[in-house]
Amino acid sequence: MQKQAVSYKSLGLCNSRELFKKAVSGGYAVPAYNFNNLEQLQAIIMACAETKSPVILQVSKGARSYANETLLRYLAQGAVAFAEELGSPVPIVLHLDHGDSFELCKDCIESGFSSVMIDGSHLPYDENVALTKKVVEYAHQFDVTVEGELGVLAGIEDEVSHASHTYTQPEEVEDFVAKTGVDSLAISIGTSHGAFKFKPGEDPKIRLDILAEIEKRIPGFPIVLHGASSVPQELVKVINEHGGKLKDAIGIGEDQLRLAAKSAVCKINIDSDGRLAMTAAVRKVLDEKPEEFDPRKYLGPARDSLKQLYMHKIKNVLGSDGKA
Ligand SMILES: [Zn+2]
């Protein structure tokens, strides 16, 4: 069956342009929360409606094939209606996380995404420029915003995996932004994908000096942080107390992320912390009530725990509460 192209505008979504402009001038960052199922989406919308925060619903290539792209589109459309129903019609962006090809970005744009990331960070510089430019030229015809990436993050996230990182070189950013026309730029300044970013005893630091140098070269340009989960130790503890085996999971301190959010960083991706919150809640219920077999009895608490985590991030890390 031939698929009918659908514009994000008809779904009630918005692109990231205005959101980032306000975030840069207001000294806060917009949350980018990954989702691939109903409970995650409920938690995101309830948390953002209650705190009046704008939000970026983020979908990876893996999530797209897991949840089915058609269902996802209706879920995003439903999210807009749900927020209105809650009396808080916050701006909602539907964003592709780590797009790895022009074709995937094009497909997402045609199926209702309002924003896409093209991640050419693993390519030689000139190829990254060429690929990113191609996606930007296509996306902008439909008023869809594009995130590019310079520098490589270490860690594992769905299909994206690198053993070591390369910091973004500040001297490349001006040229990259000018040549590609991207709307925002993901950079590598010491954050890392996944829950096992660093070794115990390490005190991971974000290179705020590199961020400042980048900001100096492209003032006011929206910067994005990936791999910014903090891996709350109380969640790791709950998981391990109820049969889990997460060893040595450590993340980035929230105080450092708060500093970054006050600067040119206007989008912070949060995925792993949400996974930990859900897993902790599910494990606790199933361990304490082994007779339980109604999925709502463990997915409900997982959703509530996720909502609390998201509200905490909005208020204490991103600073986006009341900014919708
Ligand atoms: Zn990422």
Helix axes 170-180, 208-217, angle to 10 degrees: 40
Q: How far is the CA of 121 from the centre of ligand 1 (A)?
A: 11
pLDDT for res 277: 98
Q: How far is the CA of 194 from the centre of ligand 1 (A)?
A: 9
What is d(CA 228, CA 155) in angstroms, rounded to the nearest whole number? 11
pLDDT for res 171: 92
Query: What residue segments make up the domains of the chain, in order of their start?
Result: 23-318
Could you confirm whether 304 is annotated as catalytic? no
| From 97, 183, 271, 273, active-site residue | 97
pLDDT for res 84: 97
pLDDT for res 2: 64
Residue 109 has pLDDT above 90, yes or no: yes
Q: How far is the CA of 98 from the centre of ligand 1 (A)?
A: 6
Q: How far is the CA of 197 from the centre of ligand 1 (A)?
A: 13
Which chain residues have CB less than 5 Å from ligand 1, an ion?
226
Q: In CATH, which superfamily holds the domain spanning 23-318? A: Aldolase class I (3.20.20.70)
pLDDT tens-place string over residues 39-87: 999 999 999 999 999 999 999 999 999 999 899 999 999 999 999 999 9
Helix extents (H) in the chain = 17-26, 38-51, 61-67, 69-85, 102-110, 125-140, 170-180, 208-217, 233-241, 254-262, 272-288, 295-313
pLDDT for res 138: 98
pTM of the model: 0.95
pLDDT for res 317: 96
Q: How far is the CA of 226 from the centre of ligand 1 (A)?
A: 4
